[in-house]
Chains A and B, each alone.
Chain A
Amino acid sequence: MEIQTLFVILISTIFINNYVLSQMLGLCPFLGVSRKLDSALGMGLAVIFVMVMASFFTFPIYKYILVPYDITYLRTIAFILVIAGLVQFVEMVVENVSPVLYHSLGIFLPLITTNCAVLGVAVLNTESGFLSGDLGLLEAVVQGLGAGLGFTLALLLMAGIRERLEIADIPENLKGLPITFIVAGLMAMAFLGFSGMKV
């Protein structure tokens, strides 16, 4: 395994296959928590953390428990339970260790359990993701990190634009979700430009 491969995975998950704008995963938090820049940052950090942890735990479970015993059809239920347990655990630890961090991050953690991007990362890791060939644990974790970073990037860009949209003069019927979707579409078009990159 080379450092080059890991770099390719990072670039590919952050820009070329951005989870939100190109794969259309994790749209609920993308639309729900992008009203304010600081809450978007909190959500983004929480998602990065949970995605890395989820990749780290679900990948060995799939490779060393589900595959050897030939029970891979339990993948979905096993991953969801692991992620839900993980989120609960992280919430408890953060609450006890750092109340300050808990206040800025805590409210976002329960929301992450039903964030389809997290389960998406875990499932894509088992299907070798966007690369050809099998992934190892390190690659899986890097893919989780890249997915989280890409999600945060999209969320922050969106929040920045939406803060300005608040004071813009928009037709009555376009206010709220419709204009947000148009902005998301324009951003997705810009991100399409990355697909020309050969890595």
Chain B
Amino acid sequence: MNYYREFAKGVWEKNPILILGIGMCPTLAVSTSVLNALWMTLAATFVLIFSNIIVSLVKSLVPSHIRIPIFIAIIATFVIIVELTLKAFQPDIYKSLGIFIPLIAVNCIILGRAEEFASKNAVLPSILDGLGMGLGFGLTLTVLAFFREILGSNRLFGYTLIPGMEPATIMTLAPGAFFTLAIMLWGMNAIKSRKRR
């Protein structure tokens, strides 16, 4: 098995957001600032890697007709760990991510990887798959947040960029999220169709 391929496919070839089109809710809602995006990436990747490990360890013990509830319970356990840890050590981040921390549990990316990859593969490839998918998710999220934070609040990592300039607040609201992601998907399609030619 080619370990590098298992890791790298999540970043570009099978990028969960840009190619597979899953996990949109946290992507759009949390990408108001780069800091939020990075913490969300960390939280989701942690859950992704550890749920992949456990699912791949117990895959032969789980009866196939009740596997989905079991996978969801495994994922939710790690989400609770993340929730409590963030609440204790990063209360500000916990507050600004808000409802999207518990909602990691129903993120299609994580259940999708458990079902599609970890339940069929050994532990090490599952770890690499989780890491790659988490990185692909995080990269997209961070790029999105980078543009939205600069345009929408005239800041980057909390520092004001151009003093006195009025930012386009709409970029931090829902429409800005939809438009920015539309432009990223458009660019992705353009690259793909150029490659095909």
A residues bordering B, Cβ < 8 Å? 21-28, 31, 73-77, 80-81, 84, 113-116, 119-120, 123-124, 127, 172-179, 181-182, 184-186, 188-189, 191-192
Contacts and interface: CB of A to CB of B under 8 A. Distances in A.
B175 interface: yes
B193 to A, nearest CB: 6
Contact of A28 (B73, B108, B176, B186): B108
A185 B108 contact: no
B24 A28 contact: yes
Interface residues of B, number: 40
A127 B99 CA distance: 9
Contacts of B99: 120, 123-124, 127
12 contacts: A23-B29, A25-B25, A77-B73, A80-B73, A113-B72, A114-B106, A115-B106, A172-B189, A178-B185, A185-B182, A186-B175, A192-B174
Nearest to A180: B182
Contacts of A175: 189
B189 A174 contact: yes
Interface string B45-80: 000000000000000000000001100110011011
Interface of B: 21-22, 24-25, 28-29, 68-69, 72-73, 76-77, 79-80, 83-84, 99, 102-103, 105-108, 111, 170, 173-179, 181-183, 185-186, 189-190, 193
Given A27-B25, A73-B80, A77-B77, A181 B178 contact: yes
Given A80-B76, A119-B102, A173-B189, A114 B175 contact: no
